């Protein structure tokens, strides 16, 4: 089946540094990818929609200058958390729709801890 | 986005059927009904989706009410590996998925 590979699975970074998270569609082309964030014991919250070759669309309240999204190819989207702070510590998950009429597939998530 | 109402939690015994309900009374006529599940520290996993007719796949069955204001996900024989948070999500074709709180399913051995 369709797979979205997400890396890294875990990352610890110092406050003020930047972290890049990658999501690759392994056996299909993803013109659109979605980025979510999940805090402990909460549901997934959509952060942004990433479109290949164009600017991402951010949800209300999500700082686009802090969460940089790049979708330069049909198989790769990246999320960069810039100047990370402890409150950015969360579980970040990407997703893509495989094809019309089919479900969405999700990456395995990235646990970010900012110390 | 249509609002959904799901029980916060449900319990089942292993090898018994489980019926997970979802109310989505504000669903529009063209919204698909998606179900996903999430195990701890993992990304969500697609379970099933449908529009009007009941749907079956190797994982589960989806029963959709005639008025489409509710649906039920059916796991025919629960296993310990089915313990997860189950999300019911009405979705406009091609658009993003908006997650609600879901139902935490506990499966007892």
Give the number of C-alpha atoms closer than 13 A to the C-alpha of residue B79, restricted to the C-beta side: 3
Residues of chain B with pLDDT under 70: 93-94
What is residue B94's predicted lDDT score, i.e. its pLDDT?
A: 67
A8: preceding bond cis by omega (within 30 degrees): yes
Nearest CA distance, A63 vs chain B (angstrom): 19
Q: Name the residue with tokens 């007719």.
A: B53
Using an 8 Å CB-CB cutoff, list chain A residues near B100.
43
Contact present, B38 and B85 (Cβ < 8 Å): yes
Question: Mean pLDDT for each consecutive 10-residue tract of chain A (115 residues)?
Answer: 92 98 93 95 95 91 95 93 97 89 90 98
Count A/B contacts: CB-CB distance under 8 Å. 51
Task: Characterize A11-27 residue by residue with b for buried, 16 or more Cβ atoms within 10 angstroms of its Cβ, and e for exposed.
Answer: bebeeeeebebbbbbee
What is residue B30's predicted lDDT score, i.e. its pLDDT?
A: 87
What is residue B39's predicted lDDT score, i.e. its pLDDT?
A: 96
Using an 8 Å CB-CB cutoff, list chain A residues near B48.
103
What is residue B1's predicted lDDT score, i.e. its pLDDT?
A: 72
Q: What distances in angstroms separate CA B11 from CA A55, B44, B107, one per listed residue?
A: 44, 20, 6
- B46 interfacial to chain A (CB closer than 8 Å): yes
What is residue A103's predicted lDDT score, i.e. its pLDDT?
A: 83
């Amino acid at each position: 089946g369709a797979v979205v590979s997400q890396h890294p699975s875990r990352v610890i970074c110092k406050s003020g540094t930047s972290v890049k998270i990658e999501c690759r569609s392994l056996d299909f082309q993803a013109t659109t990818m979605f980025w979510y964030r999940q805090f402990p014991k909460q549901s997934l919250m959509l952060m942004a929609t990433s479109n290949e070759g164009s600017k991402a669309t951010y949800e209300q309240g999500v700082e686009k200058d802090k969460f940089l999204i790049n979708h330069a190819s049909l198989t790769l989207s990246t999320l960069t958390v810039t100047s990370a702070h402890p409150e950015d510590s969360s579980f970040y998950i990407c997703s893509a729709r495989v094809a019309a009429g089919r479900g969405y597939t999700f990456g395995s998530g990235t646990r970010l801890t900012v110390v | 986005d249509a609002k959904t109402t799901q029980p916060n939690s449900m319990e089942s015994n292993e090898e018994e059927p489980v019926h997970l309900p979802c109310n989505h009374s504000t669903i529009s006529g063209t919204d698909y009904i998606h179900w996903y599940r999430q195990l701890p520290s993992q990304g969500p996993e697609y379970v099933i989706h449908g529009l009007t007719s009941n749907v079956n796949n190797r994982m589960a069955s989806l029963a959709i009410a005639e008025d489409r204001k509710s649906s039920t996900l059916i796991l025919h024989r629960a296993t310990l590996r089915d313990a997860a948070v189950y999300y019911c999500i009405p979705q406009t074709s091609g658009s993003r998925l908006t997650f609600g709180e879901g139902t935490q399913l506990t499966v007892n051995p």
